[in-house]
Structure 1
Amino acid sequence: MKVIVASFPKTGTKSMNLALTKLGYKVYDFIENGVYLREEWCTIFNDGWTTEMFRKMYEDIDAVVDLPACYFWEEIHKAFPDAKIILTMRESEDVWYKSILRQLIVGDENYTFRLMQILSPSQRRLLHGTGYGTGLAVFGYKQIFDSKWFGRKMNEQLMKMKYRAHNAYVLQNAPRDKFLLFNMKEGWEPLCKFLGVPVPVEPFPHKNAGGTILNELLTTHPAVIKMKKEFVISSAVLCTMAILILFLARKKDFRSFVSGLFRSALKTIGWYKDRKV
């Protein structure tokens, strides 16, 4: 581990991910943590952790960004004391919160992504394992990452308070000789100087403006592509079953079978009495 980005999401973390990747670092973002290290994070959320756990988790990884790793930046730094720490922030907590809301709205408007939460086993494991644990651990709010289909409820005051407290703690406790407070508008120079790497010729990347990252992930990220394939397969199976049921429902024997099964179930729970209607 060489770089720990301690920034909360929606503070330029996707741009930082791409920038570090272009500089040659192997980066783990939220999806990589949730897919490839899901069991480890579930253990951390439910039972606690040791420094050795983080050392094993990230021994072959160069950098981490976004949740849940950013919230555990200090614990990861204990495992990798030579790693450098970067913090990015938005202009204000109000701007940050509006950006969070926009990301969630974009997700709600993407019907493929929403249905994947139901029909993709990998997506469910990601959101209800790492996502659930992250929301509970960081914001104290178990529904923070759920879709509005599942009754999402936002707590603006709590989220802003957590954002302020997190940034203040990093600013106060990160070792000065290994810390950079970085503004994306500054471009490559301060980042590359801090990391001790050459400055690329290409412009500094800016990614996920307006929460548009979802469409890109659906077509480029291997783990998300797998989720999309699971969604397609599950949808095909459900459609086939529905067609089969509709076909069989036209058969008299099948209707009699279903009717008898239904009556037996009602008899069992005491709701049905034999009589002609």
Structure 2
Amino acid sequence: MKVILAGYPKTGTKTMAAVFTMLGYNNYDYLENYFYLHKEWLKIFDGSATNEDIRKMFGDVDALTDTPVCLYWEELHQAFPEAKIILTTRDEDSWYKSLMKQLESANSNFLLWMVCVVSPQSILRLSYNYHTSGRFFGDLSGWPSCRLRPYHEKVQRALYRQHNYSVMKKAPKDKLLVYNVSEGWEPLCEFLGVEIPDKPFPHKNKDAALIKEMTENNKVMQRIILEGVISLSVVTVLVGYAGYRFCESDTCSKLVSWVSENVNLFRKGDSI
């Protein structure tokens, strides 16, 4: 493990994921952690994971970004004490505004909602998000809503400040870089001890475009969506078949006769 990103979501975490990939690092972001290591993360959540367990989880991973990494950066660094820590920061007002816009975008996205409801991963996602998004945003509504409801603004801002303060106080000073993505390549590459790439510094998830970017470019997200579409197709076929069998049954015939008789009685009563 080379670097652990301890910055909160909406402080440039998707930009940093792109940066690490450009630097040749094998990076695990939220989706990779959730999709590939869901069961292993549950052990970290309940405190039963050992340092050896964590090292096995990320044996071939160079960098970690986004939730739940930022919430459990201490546990991760205990397992990988040689790793460097980057705390991405952002002006609090712009951070909060961007956070609310991201939530609004996610909660109003029909495709994402459908995947969460019908995908086999949906139940796993709820248990996982209880410890990640639920802890970070406040309240995660259950299936079939699967919506995120944030804390009160003052609480959300206080959590942001407290997190940044905690990282700056607890992280080893020789391992820590407090960084804003607007600073570009130079301070970051100097800290990591790598050459500056001959490419423009990336800027991802502008204007809460994360969902669109992930569905178009992220293989894990595309796989989750495919599972959701397949599940929805199977459910549709099963419901259609069940409806067909019901219509062919004696129960259906009796129900139709009963409805017809009662409709006729109602009409007679209406005409009196």
Fold conserved between structures, TM > 0.5: yes
Q: What is the CA-CA distance between 1:250 and the residue it aligns to? A: 4.3
2:151 aligned residue (155, 163, 170): 155
Deviations 1:180-235 (A, max 9, x none): 11111111111111111111111100000122121222232222112111111122
Which residue of the partner structure matches residue 45 of structure 2?
45
Report the TM-score, using the length of structure 1 for normalisation: 0.83
Amino acid at match of 2:78: K
Partners of 1:65 and 1:252 lie apart in 2 by: 56
Checking the alignment, whether the CA contact within 8 Å between 1:5 and 1:86 is kept in structure 2 is yes
Partners of 2:132 and 2:249 lie apart in 1 by: 52
1:98 correspondence with 2:94: no
5+ residue gaps, structure 1, are 260-277
Partners of 2:254 and 2:40 lie apart in 1 by: 48
1:132 aligned residue (119, 125, 130): 130
Counterparts in 2 of 1:158 and 1:48: CA distance versus 1, 3 Å: farther
Q: Which segment drifts farther, 79-88 or 51-60? A: 51-60
Amino acid at match of 1:149: S
Equivalences for 1:184-203 in 2 at 5 Å? 184-203=181-200
Deviations 1:49-69 (A, max 9, x none): 332222222222101011111
Amino acid at match of 2:188: L
Which residue of the partner structure matches residue 166 of structure 1?
163
5+ residue gaps, structure 2, are 257-272
Deviations 1:230-260 (A, max 9, x none): 111122223323433444454462504889x
Deviating beyond 6 angstroms after TM superposition, the runs of 4 or more aligned structure 1 residues are: none
**Could you say what the CA RMSD is over the residues aligned between the two structures, in angstroms?**
2.4
Partners of 1:137 and 1:106 lie apart in 2 by: 19
Deviations 1:48-92 (A, max 9, x none): 333222222222210101111112112211211111111111111
Counterparts in 2 of 1:245 and 1:68: CA distance versus 1, 3 Å: same
Q: What is the CA-CA distance between 1:148 and the residue it aligns to? A: 9.4
Partners of 1:147 and 1:255 lie apart in 2 by: 31
Deviations 1:117-152 (A, max 9, x none): 111112442x2132122245556x4517x7993464
Counterparts in 2 of 1:169 and 1:23: CA distance versus 1, 3 Å: same
Amino acid at match of 1:240: V
Which residue of the partner structure matches residue 4 of structure 1?
4
Q: Which segment drifts farther, 147-156 or 187-196? A: 147-156
Report the TM-score, using the length of structure 2 for normalisation: 0.85
